[in-house]
Structure 1
């Protein structure tokens, strides 16, 4: 797995040096707390401009990277151009609806959105490389039009970019390349400026694909990325007495079914309030198809293990006092032996249990993963570690809820580092083999944490602690 928490990295590259000695410069738009900054700093880059409209995130960014982000990117790009010259533009732009009014062509189709402001910078400054990140759904069927607008607009500005999405997740990347045990599929748009505009319309495969190569993600162990017991755990992270009771009851259910021969637990949502025999099931014409299917499956399960389930309900007083959402179990932990060996989420749809190998994506809402074996939620430090941020990265005295929200919105450092490095090396012929950016990518360690853990960010670049 990854190196044990709290130990020094095995490889330490020299710091990237002073501001003028960095091999390439970059701008960090929609910067958040600096996930892109971490990845590009590890490649040796120097940030010359950052923008972030959320004041709390901007404060965390400045605290850790020594660079105060500008505010509204719209003001900085529409009436004037505040963004300076740079080599690489990175942006995790918001996924908001794209305007289709007028059905105009090219860049004008994206006018009125924040993507348009990115294009203004690209058009004005012509960086060598552009790397954009967004949620996986941007490349899905519902947003096919928006996807084509983005690709076409970049090509019209002279950038070679794949028409197929580059989708990747940190759990697909080995730990010695910056991977982390978190399923976090994101789509990347990696583009390189070309001299001949015709070359911009030459398509090629995406720089990465959503599969692991030479690495088995099932061997992840989240324990390698958790803090030692008692180190950073606070009362707020511990499971409440009510939560322990809910999990204990459903663990009894799991164990009871296993003893009854149900070795492979159902993957459909199990609803305690819907346990009835199939002949007693009433499904009306207005019941959604998906719900009717789940009701029938619960009825079949109940009929198969009626005595076991009735005895379980009796032991737990019919789940008296359990909120409606805690009377449901979503088992996604395959062959895990107990709920106490899983990762849990207390969701509006029920208690969801997953195997304790890799975690679901951190999200910007209150669904913090619960490590059942530890009887507690993830800490902010652990969540930051899952995003690949260095051990010295901190959030000051802000509330944990704000830090979790920022981490849920952040990019994963290892994935950004991997995607950009692979893109630059693949497009070395376009960038020029003597390009400082190409040299930086070729010489960089595959694992950004080797540098980040040993150095602190100050003045927009990395310096020795």
Structure 2
């Protein structure tokens, strides 16, 4: 176990700290806080309760053109705001105010010269639409004296084996890791991106319920399926049965194996019979949408012929009473026999149905998935497990909605742990050339492959107080 009482312990600055995903990984390794900042008061309250370090604040007030008041530190981390780069946002990049927060990071880096940098963002930051912003970030870090790969390094917890901190969540994030080049040494102008070792990767299919693990109880408060949600799912379950029977009938007629259920989005608003109505829907539609519309016309015709107009129209009359987003289905569950055997996400694009292997990325906007085999939604504690946090991590008495939001905004701890290990191995020669770099390398390389037990032990030693009702109030 690392000696956290040593005065020469590695220190870290935790920017845009959230509830402390980076803090969890680094504290478990034995690093100590030098600084933490989080602008959201609810997340900051959870952070302070668990790590016993204040976090509420605004980095733009601590690092700006006038001064940098962030204290010296060895490692700087931060999942800087992703909205300017996210596919769900306007994607204005550095033209948007929040997109300029990298400049505050750079001011700290140039002033304090931490040995190691580890930043995280949505994968889209490294995508073609933000090629300029990506290049600016890389070039500025290099100009500040850091070795950093130009090629992006993208990681997801579902690709990492559970014994190495992985979890059943598809959460692709890009990591920017950099090492300060010691005086007298020359940086590699084109280093390889950080990559995880083969033995740490997941080589089997996840079992969400067993691997997370999920609580088997269907009666956890706050996870109930509402009557409306159950109505929507049960009604679509009828259509899944209709489509499966239709496919089986086609197979009998052709003598071929039954085809899978349609993989394209099913849009019942496009299930119209008249030529004029179809032409109206196609008028002005972009190519991708026109393709999906035509597939829906064909699907409607096939089911109508098999089922009969009367029965299909009865089903359609009911579904058209649903909200617009509940009149759509995205079947991504391959050969699953029932929606209730699957994970169901109620999204703006419709009911998305997947096999219960792993979950899509948790998001800050509450879209809590329904776990069909258990008959309830994912609990807040299970969401924390997906992000690699142990069960003694406290959220106090705050509303579950805040916890889900914080998990959606958070960084996966197991991924951070493995990224730091892989980075230190890649830049081992640079790190071993200085005293602080050597200490960082020894700390990270000697840390547990799966940090969850070490995090739990660290929290137990801190004897974290409960988040106060006032601090975490709605």
Q: Is the 8 A contact 2:27 2:458 kept in 1?
A: no
Q: d(CA) in 2 for partners of 1:342 and 1:445?
A: 34
User: Aligned to 1:66, which of 29, 49, 52?
Assistant: 52
Change beyond 3 A, Cα 1:156–1:211: same
Measure the CA separation in 2 of the matches of 1:425 and 1:265: 46
Higher RCO (C-alpha under 8 Å, 6+ residues apart): 1
Range moving further from structure 2, 81-90 or 132-141: 81-90
CA drift of 1:273 comes to: 2.8
2:88 paired residue number: none
SS at match of 2:225: coil
Conserved? CA contact 1:278–1:296, under 8 Å: no
Select between 146-155 and 42-51 the one with higher mean Cα deviation.
42-51
User: 1:170·1:182 contact (CA, 8 Å) conserved in 2?
Assistant: yes
Whether 2:399 is the aligned partner of 1:399: answer yes
- 1:253–1:312: 8 Å Cα contact kept in structure 2? no
Count of residue pairs the alignment pairs up: 438
Q: After alignment, is 260-269 or 292-301 more displaced?
A: 260-269
- Residue 189 of structure 2 corresponds to which residue in structure 1? 202
Name 1:5's counterpart in structure 2: none
How far apart are 1:220 and its partner, in Å?
A: 3.5
Structure 2 unmatched runs, 5+: 85-91, 249-257, 465-474
Equivalent position of 2:292 in the other structure? 294
Q: Which residue of 2 aligns with 1:308?
A: 307
Give 3-state SS (helix, strand or coil) of 2:46's partner.
Answer: helix
Correspondences of 1:46-445 after superposition (within 5 Å): 46-78=32-64, 79-95=66-82, 96=84, 97-99=92-94, 113-196=100-183, 199-200=186-187, 202-208=189-195, 214-216=201-203, 218-230=205-217, 233-234=220-221, 236-260=222-246, 261=248, 263-276=259-272, 281-282=278-279, 283-306=281-304, 307-308=306-307, 310=309, 311-314=311-314, 318-319=318-319, 321-432=321-432, 435-445=438-448
Q: Secondary structure at the match of 1:454?
A: helix
Q: TM-score of the superposition, structure 1-length normalised? A: 0.87
Does the aligned pair in 2 maintain the 1:81–1:121 contact within 8 Å?
Answer: yes
Contact 1:36–1:413 under 8 Å retained in 2: yes
Deviations 1:395-428 (A, max 9, x none): 1111111111111100000001100111012211
Mark the CA change 1:324 to 1:98 in structure 2 (over 3 Å): closer, same or farther: closer
The two structures have a TM-score, normalised by structure 2, of 0.86
Looking at structure 1, the residues matched to 460 and 70 of structure 2 have their Cα atoms a distance apart, in angstroms, of 21
Per-residue deviation, 1:304: 2.3
CA RMSD of aligned residues (A): 2.7
Structure 1, unaligned stretches of length 5 or more?
1-13, 102-109
Give the Cα–Cα distance (whole angstroms) in 2 for the partners of residues 212 and 432 of structure 1: 25
